[in-house]
Structure 1
Amino acid sequence: MTELLGRPAADWIAEQGLPLHLTSLPRIRENVRAFTRVFRDLYPRGAVRYAVKACAHPVLLAAIRAEGAGADVASPFEARMALQAGLDPRTLDLNGNCKEDELIREALASRMLIVADSAEELALVEATARAMGRRARVLLRLSGFHLGGVTGEAIFTAGPWSKFGIPLAEIPPLLENLGAYPSVRFLGFHTHIGSQITRVEPYLAVLGRMVELGRVLRDRTGACPVLNLGGGFPVNYLEEPAWDELRRRTAARDGFSWNLGLAGLDADGVWQGEAYHSPWPKEQMVEAILRGTVTVDGEALPVLRALESLDTPELLVEPGRAIAEDAGLTLCRVAHVRRAGGAHNLVTVEMGVLSHADAMLEGLPNRWDILEGPDDPEPFETFVAGNLCFSGDLLARFQTRLRRRPRRGDTLLIRDTGAYTAHFMASNANAYPRPPRLLVHGDGDVTVMKRRDRYEDLFA
């Protein structure tokens, strides 16, 4: 049987059972280093803030700290975890649209950088800081950008309709009234377009606007020392030929997508929503941004020159998926192989979609494989369904190609499941236990991030 992360897959299964999530800590560290190398080579004033929501554990965050990165936190326990892992609170960005009072007080006491998500929250931060005798370090989060269909609607977070950020139209009057916030030190601006942004143009459009606003802030306060471009840097779930084939077959409506749906195609056959391949995956997107051109106050400028015109601010990024996704593997067991719709293969596995969260959104075409047995001359194309009692429980909405017809009891391997997938929507639907999640170290050590639920845990 296949070896996974330094051990035979059979050993993992015998010890932990199925389904099972594995995450490679060395790969996470390698991905952080790749981002920091881009900044070192092109813009030494850049820095990484790992988005903790992607995959979280104190041991993982200690490794992030060891690689010289900070973190983007958005809840009391995420902040507590980062502090427990030894991260300097000044390298923690407190994000999110619903910060609890105690979390704001903790951020002020420890000198975290607070990303103000609305004018109302900014007023709350001012009042809290004044009551504590503190001065808050704040970035203003921007939204209201008209960028078109840059990714899936559920993961686009900077458009005109967004629960995140301060609309661009509200920023100029706010900047004219900074004197109303004597307990706030305005350091700059933040935005986060969304997740799996596969084109560089949206980032350049947003960055150009941020530089423009940074100049206004500098005129008001004397400096704009920080810009935070967020994350959303893409992962290549498919290589270019497979991505081209997916779009072609989906356009042809040949049953490649579940129930003959149009998937990501609009009426004109143009792909809309989350894309699965980019010429600039992971850290290469940051490199493309830094080598790109932005428009600032009507003038086209190379990005590095535009940043220099703003006195070379610290440029922060918050990759999450791009750091954790390709570090993750998921194993599950085949239950049945049958036909659906009278025409298509359907494999049912002993794991629900709530343990494979990305499939809940747009059905990522993750790479699947069968671990046991030899290949067949003809590959086996199939959809994959889970074991939960609702029709949306589909783990593969695009036909995935396996190297042979699977049998009951076979083990399926799903790659690129390190970010969000294992935990973000995990629940005990149908009273199934949540699977274990293991963080695998390079020296053979293993950290149990989450053990498998017991019956008693479900009803404690």
Structure 2
Amino acid sequence: MAAPSSPNDPATDPSIQELITARPWLKHDAQAGLLLDGVPLAAIADVVGTPTWVYSAATMRCRYRALATAMAEAGLDMQVHYAVKANDSRAVLAQFAAEGAGADVVSGGELLKARRAGIPASAIVYSGVGKSEQEMRLALSEDIGQINVESTEELEMLSALAGALGHTARVALRVNPDVDAGTNDKIATGRATDKFGIPYADAVALYARAASLPGVEPVGLATHIGSQILDLAPYRDAFARIAALVEALREHGLRVGTVDCGGGLGIGYRNEPTSSPAGLAAAMKGAFGGLDVRLIMEPGRWLVGPAGVLLASVVLVKQTRHEPFVVLDAAMNDLVRPAMYDAWHGIVPLSPVDAVTPVGPVTVVGPVCESGDTFARSRRLPPLAPNAHVAILDAGAYGVVMSSTYNARPLAAEAWVDDARWSVIRDRQPMEALWERERLPA
């Protein structure tokens, strides 16, 4: 009996047509090629050049509303805070602000971007293990809705600072439930060995300590167990532990009004089965439905990941005795996820001819001087000529925000598709910008 295929076995990769079919916002047109919400992506590539990020506004709105509806139908008192770290484009933030979303931020820069995009301070939650004094001052001066405290040391620091400034910080203790989410080791955040959160056994004592400190008002608990989670079981385990902690705190006479459930709901990069918003809502209701708490959630990837593509062009095809190397003008400095996480992303040609041409195995790489600058191995694609355009799918989350100028490569442009029209929302970085802030020593 043959061994089962691994999740990254090229033999189990979805075909080009299967990738498109699973994403209703994408269509293949016999004349115009690959369309995003009715807009030919080749037209954007021809005008703006490549590499270029392209986002579907309608897809983001649809997914946000589906998530909000699932929570409402479950009868949950839920506030959705978009995780800014997934994609902090001003257009993305402004759209979620218009939908009524709050923001989950992890830096002073993200806080200011969220405020400038129209998200009210009262709807901002600030997470993160290393908030500086300057960032705490900013959060206090903006009077944001909640600060998720992640350590005893941070709590003491925040109390002293808030007291000195005459402010009161509304805080939730981020508790580490010691639950393995079963995701990539680099994006797991809820195990006892991870840097995030307060040890579960210390939470009651620290919450009581917070209630006695000047300048802070403990309002609830928070947890977050990781990202790209496809199975609901880890959520159920974590939520059950947090619910038990709510009851324990109340038994000690402490008020708990809010539970921040975190984010992490995964998407099907390879068309693999995923958990639904309705399933997540049911897990939350099962744990917290009888506790009379207001819930917060922090979705990021699930909202924006599928809504974005990275357009790239073929520089050349290098023939080898193993398999051809298709060299793109996009690289790991643009989309680092494959190099950092061994992440799988669908790759689809834009040309209507290429999309229906017989396929064969190729290795898709970028031009950066790192062997890790590889997007796919043994990926079945049609023969691609120089200057052919491709779309790297599901690149709306943790794409542009993790970009760099490594190898002195300027940051890519960004485009926005809405109502069958498109526009540029960020110009390609000029080459001169790579050195314009540098100074030679005297």
TM-score range, shorter chain: 0.7 to 0.9
**Which residue in the other structure is 1:309 paired with?**
290
Q: How does 1:322-401 map to 2 (within 5 A)?
A: 322-339=302-319, 342-372=321-351, 373-374=353-354, 378-396=358-376, 398-401=377-380
Distance 1:376 1:109, change over 3 A: closer
Return the alpha-carbon distance in structure 2 between the equivalents of residues 159 and 60 of structure 1.
31
1:354-393 deviation line (CA, Å, top 9, x unaligned): 2112112233222211222255663222221110011111
Correspondence for 1:429 among 372, 397, 406: 406
| Contact kept? 1:365, 1:400, Cα under 8 Å | no
Q: How does 1:275-294 map to 2 (within 5 A)?
A: 277-280=272-275, 284=276, 286-292=277-283
Correspondence for 1:116 among 143, 149, 171: 149
Aligned letter for 1:115? N
| Contact kept? 2:354, 2:384, Cα under 8 Å | no
1:414 corresponds to 2:392 = yes
SS at match of 1:291: helix
Distance 1:352 1:319, change over 3 A: same
Query: Residue 291 of structure 1: CA displacement?
Result: 2.5
| Contact kept? 1:141, 1:166, Cα under 8 Å | yes
SS at match of 1:204: helix
Aligned letter for 2:121? P
Return the alpha-carbon distance in structure 2 between the equivalents of residues 202 and 53 of structure 1.
22
**Which residue in the other structure is 1:227 paired with?**
259
SS at match of 1:453: coil
Identical amino acids, percent of aligned pairs: 29
Return the alpha-carbon distance in structure 2 between the equivalents of residues 205 and 83 of structure 1.
34
Distance 1:377 1:22, change over 3 A: closer
Q: Tell which deviates more after alignment, 87-96 or 6-15.
A: 6-15
Correspondence for 1:131 among 147, 164, 171: 164
1:185 corresponds to 2:217 = yes
Distance 1:345 1:206, change over 3 A: same
1:278-328 deviation line (CA, Å, top 9, x unaligned): 331xxx1x4213334xxxxxxxxxx53542432x21111101000110110
Query: Residue 176 of structure 1: CA displacement?
Result: 4.3
Aligned letter for 1:26? A
1:187-221 deviation line (CA, Å, top 9, x unaligned): 11111111101110100110011111111222345
**Which residue in the other structure is 2:198 paired with?**
166
**TM-score with structure 1 length normalisation?**
0.82
Return the alpha-carbon distance in structure 2 between the equivalents of residues 375 and 143 of structure 1.
47
Post-superposition, which runs of at least 4 consecutive aligned residues in structure 1 deviate over 6 A? Answer: none
Query: Residue 157 of structure 1: CA displacement?
Result: 1.2
Distance 1:368 1:305, change over 3 A: closer
Correspondence for 1:46 among 73, 78, 87: 78
| Contact kept? 2:313, 2:388, Cα under 8 Å | yes
Query: Residue 15 of structure 1: CA displacement?
Result: 2.1
Correspondence for 1:74 among 98, 106, 122: 106
May I ask how many residue pairs the two structures share in their alignment? Answer: 402
| Contact kept? 1:39, 1:47, Cα under 8 Å | no
| Contact kept? 1:357, 1:423, Cα under 8 Å | no
1:194 corresponds to 2:172 = no
Query: Residue 232 of structure 1: CA displacement?
Result: 0.7
SS at match of 1:409: coil
Query: Residue 230 of structure 1: CA displacement?
Result: 0.7
Query: Residue 222 of structure 1: CA displacement?
Result: 4.4
RMSD, aligned CA: 2.0
SS at match of 2:416: strand
Consecutive unaligned residues of structure 2, counting only runs of 5 or more, are 1-31, 437-442
Consecutive unaligned residues of structure 1, counting only runs of 5 or more, are 240-276, 293-302
Return the alpha-carbon distance in structure 1 between the equivalents of residues 169 and 207 of structure 2.
16
SS at match of 1:384: strand
